[in-house]
A = this chain, B = another copy of it.
Amino acid sequence: MAVVKSPLSETARTVTGEALQGALVDLVDLSLYAKQAHWNLVGPRFKVVHEHLDEIVDLARQAQDDVAERAVAIGVNPDGRSRTVADRTEIQQLEPGDLADDKVVAAVADALFEIIGRFRGRIAATGEPDPVTQDLLIGITADLEKQHWMFRAQA
């Protein structure tokens, strides 16, 4: 347990901390996933999708910082180390090598849809113990759902 004195009760902190740690793993791996696709992409839509993927990277990097700092602010140590992310991520991983643009678009849409499902669960779980964390998760979910729409629309 972190040195920071929590504004939450023990129970509320545990529930909220788990939601945030789960979100952190999703977001760190989403940023690595989107970069992998950004680099290995091929196909006629290369330029557009290549740049669009960096919007996902930016979103995921900003959001991972927000959830990790929210965790420590409520007295829970976030864990975003490579081993932790690799072992706990639930995102369906990309194959190595060249990645065709149409497949990447569909795969990103699917990955986002799965992540959104987990975020909606975290929103439901944190409303009572910590509305401040819930509000953060709502904001990230809004961004993820906007990107999900945009990838789905071009799939």
Task: Determine whether the beta carbon of A72 is less than 8 Å from that of B40.
Answer: yes
Q: Which of A74-108 contact B (CB under 8 A)?
A: 74, 77-83, 85-87, 89, 93-94, 96-98, 102
Q: Number of A interface residues at 8 Å Cβ cutoff, please give it.
A: 75
| Interface residues in chain A, defined as those with a beta carbon under 8 Å from any beta carbon in chain B | 1-5, 7, 28-29, 32-33, 35-36, 39-50, 52, 61, 64-65, 68-74, 77-83, 85-87, 89, 93-94, 96-98, 102, 113, 116-117, 120, 123, 127, 131-132, 134-136, 138-139, 141-142, 145-146, 148-150, 152-154
Q: List 14 A-B contacts (CB under 8 A).
A: A2-B42, A4-B152, A5-B113, A36-B79, A36-B81, A39-B78, A46-B154, A47-B49, A47-B154, A73-B148, A82-B82, A131-B134, A135-B135, A135-B138
